[in-house]
Amino acid sequence: MALSKAQKTAVLVAIPVIFFLLPAPEGLSLIAWRLLGIYIATIVGLVIKPFGEPVLLLAAVAASAATIGNTEGAKELVKVSQTLSGYQSGTTWLIFTAFTLSSAFVITGLGKRIAYHLISWLGSTTLRLGYVSMFLDLLLSPATPSNTARAGGIVFPIMNSVAVALGSDPEKSPKLAGRYLMMNVYMSVKTTSYIFLTAMAPNALALELMSPILGIKLNWVEWFFAASVPGLLCLFIIPFICYIIAKPELKQVDNKAIAKKGLEELGPISFREKALAVLFVLALLGWIFADFLHVNATTIALITMVLCIVLSIVSWDDVRKNKAGWDTLIWYGGIIGMSSILEKAGFFKWLASSLESYLQFEGQGMLALMVILLLSVSVRYLFASGGAYVAAMVPVFATVGKVAGAPVELLALGLLFSNSYGGSVTHYGGGPGPITFGAGYNDIKSWWIAGAVVAFGSLIIHATLGLAWWEYLFGAGILPSVN
C-alpha cells in the first residue's frame, strides 16, 4: 500500500526527532549525530518523494542551520553559514550554467538538425541507426548535464519518429525496429553520461561528496581522460549488444528519405543555430585548455551562458523557464552543503574509525575494491534516481572502501563512473528510462537482460582495462594523486 503525502512527511519528521532524542554514539559529537539524522531524513525523502528535491533540500538546510544554532558546542565545529557552502561550489554553478547550452540545443533545433544529418550519412541499416543514436548522444553530452533532457528532449523524439516512419508500431510491430531503437537510446545515454563531467549532473555531486573523504579532485579534462578508454569501449559495443538482445526484424532503412523529410521540416539553418554551434565548440576548447588559459571550467560555462543570452540564442525568459536547471542548483547546492557540514562536524572520520575494526580484508585491497564496485552496481536495482543514489551511497561506499584498504585513487574513479552505468540495470534507473520504456515498444524481461549485460559488462571492463588505464594515468602524473 502506497503511503500518502502526509504519511511520508510524518516519516521524514520522525527520523531527525529520533536522532535528537537518542544520545550520540561514543566518539561522535552531538551536533554531528543530529545533523546525521537530518541528512538521513533527506535521503529517505529523495527516495519516497513527498515533495520535490528543491523543497526537501531547502527544508534540510534550514533545519541544519537551526540545529547548529541551538546545539551546545556546535559552533566550535561547524558554522551556521557553512550550511550554504554548497551554493558557493564551482561545480554546482558549472552544472547550472551548462543547462543553458542544453536547452539551447532543443530551442534552436540544432540538436535535431545534427541528428538528421547523421541519419543521412550513416543510417542505412537499423544497426547503423543505433550507432547514429549513440553518436548524437555522445556529441551532445558535454553540454547537456540533464541526460533526461538530452535523451528525452532530443534523441528519443527523433528515434521514435524514425521508428514510426519505418512502420514499427508499439502494439502491432514493436520488433520491427522500435524495440531495438528505444532500448539503445537508454543504454547509450547511461554510458555517455559518465564520459564527461558535464554529461550528467550527479557526476559533479559525486565528485564533491567524495572529495573530503578520499581527497580526489578532478577537472573537466582529467575526468574525460579517466573515463575515455573504458567508457568509449563500452559505448561502442552497446548498440551491437542491444541489437543482439532485441534484434530488429527490419534490416535496411531508407535513411535518405527520412533525413530529407526531417531537414525540410526544420527549414534553412538559422543564425541562432550557427552561433550556438560556434559557442559549443569554443566551450569545449575552453574546458580542454582551461589550465593553459588560466580559467576554470565554471568561468567558461558562465561566459558561454551569457553569450547565449547576448546573442539571442536563448532569452533570459528561456533560462528562467529551465526548471531542471534551477531545481538542480537548489538541491545539489543543498546536498553538497549538508555533506560539507557533516565532514566539518567529524562524522566521516568517526564512521571510518568505527568501520575499521569490522572491515578487515587482510591486505587484500584489490579484493575490497572489487567488492565495493560490485555492490555499487548491484544496489542500483533499489534506486530510481541517480542523484538519490549518489547522495545516499557514494559517501558510504567511499568511506567503507577506504577503511577496507582499497586503493583510494582507483576506488574514487570506479565509484564515479559506476554511478551512471549502474543505472542501466532497470527501466527506472534514471530519468530517460521511463521516457524510452514508456513508448511501449519494450518488454521488461528483454530490457532487464540488456541492462544487466550492459551494467555488469561495463563493470568488468572498468575493473580490468579501466584499472590498468587509471594506474597508468596516475603513474604518469596525468591525473593528480590523492592528497
pLDDT digits (tens, 9 = 90+) for 137-163: 999 898 887 787 788 778 888 888 888
Q: How many other CB atoms are found less than 10 A from the CB of residue 407?
A: 20
Model confidence at 309, pLDDT cuts 50, 70, 90, reads: very high
Residue 346 CB-density burial (10 A; 0-12 exposed, 13-18 middle, 19+ buried): middle
Query: In a 3-state reduction of DSSP, which class is residue 141?
Result: helix
pTM across the whole model: 0.81
Phi, psi at 301, each rounded to 5°: -65, -40
User: Which run of H or of E encompasses 291?
Assistant: helix 290-293
Cβ proximity of 380 and 423 under 8 Å: yes
Q: What would the grid cell of residue 21 be?
A: 532524542
Cβ proximity of 207 and 214 under 8 Å: no
Nearest partner of 272 among 457, 434, 113, judged by Cα: 113
C-alpha 260/C-alpha 253 separation (Å) is 13
pLDDT at residue 1 above 70?
A: no
Higher pLDDT, 439 or 1: 439
Helix, strand, coil percent values for the chain (each to nearest 5):
75, 0, 25
pLDDT at residue 76 above 70?
A: yes
Strand partners, 125: 252
Nearest partner of 128 among 246, 259, 243, judged by Cα: 243
* 23-32, 96-105, 294-303: least confident range: 96-105
Model confidence at 459, pLDDT cuts 50, 70, 90, reads: very high
Instruction: Give the HSE-up count for residue 451: Cα atoms under 13 Å, Cβ half-sphere.
Output: 26
* 41-50, 272-281, 446-455: least confident range: 41-50
Residue 282 CB-density burial (10 A; 0-12 exposed, 13-18 middle, 19+ buried): middle
Q: What is the mean pLDDT of the chain?
A: 87
Looking at residue 358, what is its pLDDT?
A: 67
Looking at residue 361, what is its pLDDT?
A: 66
C-alpha 422/C-alpha 455 separation (Å) is 5
The residue assigned the cell 548535464 is 145
